[in-house]
Amino acid sequence: MKDTGLYCLVLVLCICIVNGQSTTATASKSTAASKVNKLEGKLAGVNDIKYHLTKVNLIDNTNYNEYSVIPDKAGSFAFYNISSGFYTMEIECFQYIFYQYKVDVLNNKIKNQIKVRPAENETIIMPQPLVLKPMSRGLYFQQHVPFNIFSLFQNPMVISIGFTSVMIYLLPKMSSFVNEAAQEEGMVKPKQGPELLQKVPDWGQALITN
């Protein structure tokens, strides 16, 4: 019985040792895998970014799958276990506008082979961990322009309304002026008629007199 108990104890110890070694190996493999395809970066350059409302998106250019992370309080972010392929990285921030980046993940299981390049200049390979600065502040509302009375005269709608109003005012005046002129001309013609008849000589009486 003692030998059987001792044998069972040794067997249990061996099983525990084997399980511990397998767990350690699995953990080391997962750690190594996470180190292979890992992309780290930080949003920098400004201090008033609300990181909890900001997202860093990694979009697969092949199947358009999107992976998103939210930066921590310091602005740091990371993507783990990225599959090989070509990606586009963009930052969603309502306060600032960031550049887009091209991310190339090479098929290499030994070491981290990730190349990040600015979308507007793909010849530059950025050092890692990335330090991403905003391009400009986001302008979601049109800047207020002070009122200028002379700007109204440059508005086509105001010009058309003003021209129509002037014509509505002037046309009755012009028509009444034309009517008055026509009436005066009509009154002058009857007065001139008898005078002209009196001035016309009576050729019959002139012949008899002669």
**Predicted pLDDT at 155:** 79
**Which ranges of the chain have pLDDT less than 70?**
1-36, 108-112, 140-145, 181, 186-210
Question: Does 187 share its domain with 109?
Answer: no
Q: Among 88, 116, 137, give the residue marking a domain's end.
A: 137
| 53 and 114 together in one domain | yes
pLDDT given for residue 26 in this prediction: 39
| Enclosing domain of residue 97 | 33-137
Residue type at position 8: C
133 & 155 share domain: no
> 181 lies in a domain?
yes
For residue 114, the surrounding DSSP H or E stretch is: strand 114-118
Q: What CATH number is associated with residue 66?
A: 2.60.40.10
130 and 39, same structural domain? yes
Determine the pLDDT at residue 25.
39
- Total-model pTM: 0.51
At residue 174, the pLDDT reads: 77
183 in any annotated domain: yes
Examine residue 208 and state whether it is found in any structural domain, yes or no.
no
State which of 105, 137, 169 marks the end of a domain.
Answer: 137
**pLDDT tens for each residue of 81-125:** 899 899 999 999 988 999 999 999 987 666 668 999 999 888 899
The pLDDT score that the predictor gives to residue 27 is 38
Domain termination residue (choose one: 137, 166, 185): 137
How many domains are contained in the chain? 2
Do 37 and 132 fall into the same domain? Answer: yes
Determine the Cα–Cα distance for residues 97 and 44; give it in Å rounded to an integer. Answer: 13
112 in a structural domain = yes
Q: Do 102 and 171 belong to one domain? A: no
pLDDT attached to residue 125 = 92
Query: Residue 85, exposed/middle/buried by CB under 10 A (0-12, 13-18, 19+)?
Result: middle
Burial call 132-147: b when 16+ CB within 10 Å, e when fewer? bebeeeeeeeeeeeee
Do both 104 and 41 map to the same domain? Answer: yes
Angle at 121 between CA 120 and CA 124, to 5 degrees: 145
54 and 124 together in one domain:
yes
